[in-house]
């Protein structure tokens, strides 16, 4: 976390592989402004709980779940209680997997470990390529049943 209380994200440098990882600790109550990316994104927290909002839809993501956010989708990401966030950005040209809408993903223990491995800065390119191939094989959508509850409009209730 920076001195002003905002999240600090340390992205890995882009390379010849499909994925670029950003990692940072989000303090309680931190929300990124509404934004979009030219890459696909997998939003995931290795610790804590993230929330992602796309329009009126909201996904709550414990460490066993992640959200695929297609390139160009406007969204907002944050946390109520703090989280160790991983932003996994996927080059659409090099990505063999794609979902055309935000999609909840299952994060198994193996996928968790691969995400952690790929977040490190010293993983050699051949090893990264093999790990990424396994990640793509493990991306498994989870059926989501909407609860139909809309966020409250009163700012005090939204904070809770």
pLDDT tens, position by position, 103-132? 999 999 999 999 998 888 777 888 888 999
Name the residue among 111, 102, 110 with its Cα closest to residue 77.
102
pLDDT of 39 above 70: yes
Find the mean pLDDT for residues 78-104. Answer: 91
H helices within 18-124, ranges in order? Answer: 109-119
């Amino acid at each position: 976390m920076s001195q002003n209380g905002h999240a600090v994200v340390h992205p890995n440098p882009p390379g010849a592989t499909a994925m670029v990882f950003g990692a940072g600790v989000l303090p309680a109550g931190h929300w990124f402004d509404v934004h979009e990316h030219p890459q696909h994104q997998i939003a995931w927290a290795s610790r804590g709980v993230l929330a992602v909002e796309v329009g009126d839809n909201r996904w709550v993501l414990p460490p066993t779940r992640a959200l695929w956010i297609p390139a160009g989708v406007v969204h907002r990401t944050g946390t109520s209680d703090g989280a160790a966030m991983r932003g996994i950005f996927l080059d659409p040209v090099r990505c063999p997997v794609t979902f055309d809408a935000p999609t909840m993903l299952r994060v198994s223990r193996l996928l968790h470990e691969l995400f952690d491995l790929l977040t490190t800065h010293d993983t050699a390119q051949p090893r990264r390529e093999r790990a990424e191939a396994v990640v793509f094989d493990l991306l498994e959508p989870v059926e989501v049943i909407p609860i139909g509850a809309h966020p409250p409009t009163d700012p005090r209730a939204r904070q809770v």
